Amino acid sequence: MLDTLLNHKSIRKYKNTPISEKDLNEILEAGIRASTTGNMQIYSIIVTRDEQMKKKLAPTHFNQPMATQAPVLLTFCADINRFSKWCKQRKAEPGYDNFLWFTNAVIDAMLVAQNCTIAAEDKGLGICYLGTTTYTADKIIDILELPKGVIPITTVVLGYPDEKPELTDRLPLEGVVHYETYKDYSKEDIDMIYAEKESLESTKALLKENEKDNLAQVFTDNRYKKVDNIHFSKVFLDVLKQQGFFNQ
């Protein structure tokens, strides 16, 4: 399992080989063994295998080819709907339509997603997280018919790899790990932590492709622009209110 974790790669090209029912169920079973707030399991997983449904979802993931190419999409949702209904049916008054429990449900959903991805990779499958899910949550809600109290948090593409990418670079441990208390970063620390990433050949190619002076500008000016961040933040906050969160 440690070898699986240390060799994780995001896969963006997939074979059309189907995933067996047995393998998919074992992946999902591994998912629901994840840690969860109070053993409440305030999440739901939507499995998409139907080709027409994948085509409907494709625009919500910016029409990335892997979203329709892979045999399975898993949409992980924060879900207070089911647990709240159970409470009401047992004459217990739920109080989970607020920011705290949205956060708890997001944590639950992401823990389950990560368990599923590790189990899938351990079986030789490839995965890729789609960050587009929260950008277009309002449209995904309509397509997947999600009721109030249910919000899509992330989507995982699942299938047999049709590529062998290199391992993606990561920051050194000293760049992200703090012992006992948080040690804020000096200018020298920042230079040291990002030195290797900035010197990579792949980084040089990115700078040329994006016509930028440094890697930070690729992120701020091209990939994750402030204007887009503000727009999608507003859309997502509106979705949270529409789906019944932030009522308290």
Residue 86 in domain: yes
* Kind and range of the H or E run holding 150: strand 150-159
Query: Which tens digits make up the pLDDT trace of 1-57?
Result: 899 999 999 999 999 999 999 999 999 999 999 999 999 999 999 999 999 999 999
Residue 217 in domain: no
Residue 200 in domain: no
Query: Which tens digits make up the pLDDT trace of 196-219?
Result: 999 999 999 999 999 999 999 999
Residue 10 in domain: yes
pLDDT of residue 124: 97
Collapse the DSSP code of 111 into the 3-class scheme (helix H, G, I; strand E, B; otherwise coil) and give the result. helix
Tell me, rounded to whole angstroms, the distance of Cα 65 from its chain centroid.
Answer: 17
Q: What gap in Å lies between CA 214 and CA 203, rounded to an integer?
A: 9
Q: Does 152 score more than 70 pLDDT?
A: yes
Report DSSP state, residue 185: P
Contact 127, 157 (CB under 8 A): yes
Q: Does 248 score more than 70 pLDDT?
A: no
* Averaged pLDDT score across all residues of the chain: 96
* Of residues 45, 49, 50, the one with CA closest to residue 116: 45
pLDDT of residue 190: 97
What domain range includes position 157?
Answer: 2-165
Q: Please count the structural domains in the chain.
A: 1
Residue 247 in domain: no
CATH number at residue 46: 3.40.109.10
Residue 7 in domain: yes
Does pTM surpass 0.85? Answer: yes
Q: Which residues pair with 202 in a beta bridge?
A: none
Residue 99 in domain: yes
Q: What gap in Å lies between CA 34 and CA 2, rounded to an integer?
A: 17
Residue 234 in domain: no
Residue type, 180: E
Q: Which residues pair with 48 in a beta bridge?
A: 73
pLDDT of residue 1: 85
